[in-house]
C-alpha cells in the first residue's frame, strides 16, 4: 500500500485548528509530552488488580488471543499505562473510522512502548451502554451507483443499551448475507461470510457481536476491549459513581465556565446539558438521565418514574451499580479514574467536546491526558485511481470540491458549439415574439393577459425541456466517461461525506483479502495530523 498525505479540514473548526496546530491548546487542554504524562501517572494509584481480574474473565469468555491476555496481565504492573479510545458497538464495526481508531490505538501504543521502555497497553472502550441504537443498527452499501442505508430492522425501535439487546442469530446471519450480496462474489467471499457467521454464533448481544469481530480482526495485536456496561466493571466503578453524584453541581459549574471561556474565544458549544443535569443515567431496562431538584434536594428522572434522596441514590449505587452509567461529561472522568491513560485517541467531535472538560478535570485535581487525533484516511482502489487519471482529477480535488463541478465543466467543453448561448438566444427571441403576440391579444381582449402569460411560461418550459433532452442524450453518448465521475464520487466522497464515515471495512476485505486490516495496520503512519491517502 502506498500512502500520501493531505491537509484537510476536520468536521468542526476547533478540531481543524487543533490538528493544524493553530488552536491555543492551553485554553482547553493540558499539553505535555508523553514522558511528562508518564511521570505524572506513576504518582497515582489505580484499582489495577480488580480491573485486570475483570478484564481477564471477560476476555476468556471470548477466547481472546494470547497477545490480548498478555496485555491484560501487563495492567497489573505499576509502571504500565494505556493508550485508549472508544466508539459505539456498530454492526459489522460500523463505518471505517472505527477501524482507523483501533489502528491508531494499537500503533501509538507500540510506538510509545518502544520509546518509553514501559508496558503500553492498547485499550478500546466499547460504548455498549449507549442506547441511541439508530446510530449503530445499519451499514451503508452501494446499490445501482447510489449509497443505500441498509438497516437491520429488528433493532429499528430499540431503546435499550446495546449490551442488553439479544440477537436472533439466524436473522442476523440473513441480514449479513444480504449485505454481502451487494459486495459481489470474490474468491474470499465465502470464507469472510463464514468468519462473520462464526462471530454471530458466539455472540449473545449486539455488544458481544461487535467485540467478537474486533477480537477476530485484531487478534495478533493484543487489543483489550472494555465493555462499558459490564456489571463487573460497574461494581469496580461503584465508588466513583458515588463521587460523581455528590459532585454533580460542581461538574456542571466547571463545564459551563469552560464553555463560556471557549465561546468568548469564538468557538461553538459542543456539549448541551441543562443546569439540573446530574451527569448519570439510571437504567431499569430503559436508560434514563438523572436530574437534580434543588428545592426538593433529590435526584429524579424527567418521566417521573424515579426520585431519590442523596441517601437513597447512594444505597442504589451500592446495591445495584450495574444500573448506573455515565453521560458524555462523566465518561472521560470514569476512564481517567480506571486507567493510567498515557494518551486518548480522539475523533474530531471528541476533540471539540473534550475541550469543554478542562475545568471539570481540574475540579478533581487531574490533568487531561494528551489528546491525539485518530488517523484519518481515504482508501483509493486501483480502478478508482485509473478513473481519476482518465478524468484528470486528483484525490485532493475530489475530497475538497467533489466531482460535480468538474463534470459540469467537462459537459460544457463537450457540448455542441455555443450550446448554452443558442438556447439563451432562443428564449430571448421567443420572449420578444410572444410579447408582440400578447400586445395584439390585449388589444382584442385585456382579460387574455393571464392566459397568454401562462402560455409564455409553457413555451419557455418546452425550450428548457429540449435543452435537458439534448444534454441527456449527449451524456448517454458519453456514458462511459460520465460514469467515471460517478464512480469516483461514490467511492471517495459518498453522499458528499468523508469515505471513512460511510463505507464499512468488510467491503474492502471482500475485495482485497482477509488480511486487509492487517496490511492497513502495518502501513508506516506518521502522527502529524495529515489526512492519509492509501492506494490499494
The model's pLDDT over 510-534, given as tens digits with 9 standing for 90+, comes to 999 999 999 999 887 777 888 999 9
pLDDT of residue 463: 84
pLDDT of residue 426: 84
Task: Return d(Cα 298, Cα 467) in angstroms, integer.
Answer: 69
pLDDT tens, 264-280?
999 999 999 999 999 99
- Tell me: do 97 and 46 sit in the same domain: yes
Residue 268 lies in a domain: no
Cell numbers representing residue 310 in the block: 442523596
> What integer is the mean pLDDT of 211-220?
94
Strands 138-143 and 341-346: unpaired
- Tell me: do 114 and 145 sit in the same domain: yes
- Tell me: do 187 and 202 sit in the same domain: yes
Residue 242 lies in a domain: no
> What integer is the mean pLDDT of 165-191?
95
Residue 7 in this model has a pLDDT that exceeds 70: yes
Query: For the chain, what is the mean pLDDT?
Result: 93
- Tell me: do 530 and 485 sit in the same domain: no
Residue 416 in this model has a pLDDT that exceeds 80: no
Residue 9 in this model has a pLDDT that exceeds 70: yes
What's the domain count of the chain? 2
Residue 145 lies in a domain: yes
pLDDT of residue 347: 95
Q: Higher confidence at residue 433 or residue 215?
A: 215
The burial class, CB within 10 Å (0-12 / 13-18 / 19+), for 185 is exposed
Task: Return d(Cα 4, Cα 241) in angstroms, integer.
Answer: 45
Residue 161 lies in a domain: yes
Residue 531 lies in a domain: yes
Residue 392 lies in a domain: yes
- Tell me: do 523 and 493 sit in the same domain: no
pLDDT tens, 471-492?
777 777 667 788 899 999 999 9
Residue 417 in this model has a pLDDT that exceeds 70: no
Contact (CB, 8 A) for 450 and 441: no
pLDDT of residue 478: 67
> What integer is the mean pLDDT of 35-58?
97
- Tell me: do 337 and 204 sit in the same domain: yes
Residue 471 lies in a domain: yes
- Tell me: do 519 and 404 sit in the same domain: no
> What integer is the mean pLDDT of 282-292?
93
Task: Return d(Cα 130, Cα 152) in angstroms, integer.
Answer: 17
- Tell me: do 398 and 517 sit in the same domain: no
Residue 177 lies in a domain: yes
- Tell me: do 368 and 426 sit in the same domain: no
161 contacts: CB under 8 Å, gap ≥ 6:
128, 129, 130, 131, 207, 229, 283, 287, 325
Percentage of the chain beyond pLDDT 90 is: 77
> What integer is the mean pLDDT of 333-343?
97
Residue range of the domain that includes 524? 2-232+330-376+511-535
- Tell me: do 340 and 393 sit in the same domain: no
Q: Is the pTM of this model over 0.85?
A: yes
- Tell me: do 358 and 414 sit in the same domain: no
Q: How many CB atoms lie within 10 A of CB 164?
A: 18
Lowest mean pLDDT across 4-8, 150-154, 319-323: 4-8
- Tell me: do 58 and 175 sit in the same domain: yes
Q: Higher confidence at residue 437 or residue 113?
A: 113
Amino acid at each position: 500500500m502506498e500512502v500520501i498525505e493531505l491537509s484537510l479540514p476536520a468536521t468542526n473548526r476547533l478540531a481543524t485548528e487543533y490538528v493544524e496546530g493553530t488552536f491555543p491548546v492551553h485554553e482547553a487542554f493540558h499539553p505535555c509530552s508523553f514522558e511528562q504524562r508518564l511521570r505524572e501517572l506513576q504518582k497515582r494509584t489505580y484499582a489495577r488488580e480488580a480491573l485486570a481480574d475483570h478484564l481477564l474473565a471477560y476476555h476468556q469468555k471470548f477466547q481472546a488471543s494470547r497477545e490480548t491476555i498478555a496485555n491484560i496481565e501487563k495492567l497489573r504492573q505499576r509502571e504500565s499505562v494505556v493508550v485508549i479510545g472508544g466508539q459505539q458497538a456498530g454492526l459489522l464495526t460500523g463505518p471505517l473510522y472505527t477501524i482507523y481508531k483501533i489502528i491508531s490505538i494499537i500503533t501509538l501504543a507500540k510506538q510509545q512502548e518502544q520509546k518509553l521502555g514501559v508496558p503500553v497497553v492498547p485499550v478500546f472502550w466499547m460504548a455498549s451502554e449507549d442506547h441511541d441504537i439508530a446510530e449503530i443498527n445499519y451499514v451503508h452499501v452501494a446499490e445501482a451507483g447510489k449509497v443505500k442505508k441498509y438497516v437491520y430492522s429488528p433493532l429499528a425501535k430499540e431503546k435499550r443499551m446495546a449490551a442488553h439487546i439479544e440477537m436472533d442469530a439466524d436473522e442476523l446471519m440473513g441480514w449479513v448475507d444480504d449485505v454481502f450480496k451487494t459486495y459481489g462474489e470474490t474468491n474470499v467471499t465465502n470464507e469472510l461470510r463464514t468468519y462473520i457467521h462464526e462471530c454471530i454464533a458466539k455472540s449473545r448481544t449486539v455488544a458481544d457481536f461487535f467485540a467478537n469481530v474486533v477480537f477476530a480482526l485484531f487478534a495478533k495485536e493484543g487489543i483489550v476491549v472494555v465493555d462499558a456496561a459490564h456489571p463487573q466493571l460497574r461494581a469496580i466503578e461503584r465508588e466513583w459513581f458515588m463521587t460523581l453524584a455528590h459532585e454533580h453541581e460542581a461538574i456542571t459549574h466547571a463545564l459551563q465556565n469552560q464553555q463560556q471561556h471557549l465561546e468568548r474565544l469564538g468557538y461553538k458549544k459542543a456539549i448541551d446539558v441543562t443546569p439540573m443535569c446530574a451527569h448519570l443515567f439510571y437504567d431499569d431496562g430503559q436508560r434514563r438521565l438523572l436530574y437534580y431538584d434543588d428545592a426538593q434536594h433529590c435526584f429524579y428522572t424527567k418521566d417521573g418514574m424515579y426520585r431519590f434522596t442523596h441517601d437513597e441514590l447512594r444505597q442504589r449505587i451500592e446495591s445495584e451499580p450495574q444500573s448506573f452509567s455515565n453521560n458524555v461529561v462523566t465518561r472521560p472522568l470514569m476512564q481517567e479514574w480506571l486507567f493510567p491513560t498515557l494518551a486518548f485517541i480522539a475523533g474530531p467531535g471528541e476533540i471539540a467536546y473534550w475541550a469543554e472538560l478542562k475545568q471539570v478535570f481540574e475540579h478533581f485535581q487531574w490533568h487531561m491526558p494528551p489528546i491525539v487525533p485518530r488517523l484519518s484516511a481515504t482508501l483509493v482502489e486501483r480502478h478508482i485511481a485509473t478513473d481519476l487519471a482518465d478524468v484528470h482529477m486528483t484525490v485532493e480535488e475530489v475530497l475538497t470540491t467533489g466531482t460535480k463541478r468538474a463534470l459540469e465543466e467537462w459537459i460544457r467543453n463537450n457540448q455542441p458549439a455555443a450550446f448554452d448561448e443558442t438556447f439563451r438566444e432562443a428564449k430571448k427571441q421567443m420572449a420578444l415574439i410572444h410579447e408582440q403576440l400578447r400586445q395584439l391579444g390585449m388589444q382584442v381582449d385585456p382579460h387574455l393577459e393571464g392566459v397568454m402569460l401562462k402560455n409564455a411560461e409553457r413555451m419557455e418550459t418546452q425550450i428548457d425541456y429540449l435543452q435537458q433532452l439534448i444534454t441527456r442524450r449527449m451524456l448517454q453518448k458519453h456514458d462511459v466517461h460520465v460514469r467515471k465521475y460517478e464512480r469516483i464520487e461514490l467511492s471517495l466522497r459518498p453522499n458528499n461525506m468523508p469515505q471513512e464515515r460511510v463505507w464499512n471495512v468488510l467491503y474492502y476485505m471482500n475485495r482485497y483479502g482477509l488480511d486487509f486490516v492487517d496490511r492497513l495496520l502495518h502501513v508506516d503512519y506518521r502522527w502529524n495530523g495529515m489526512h492519509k491517502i492509501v492506494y490499494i
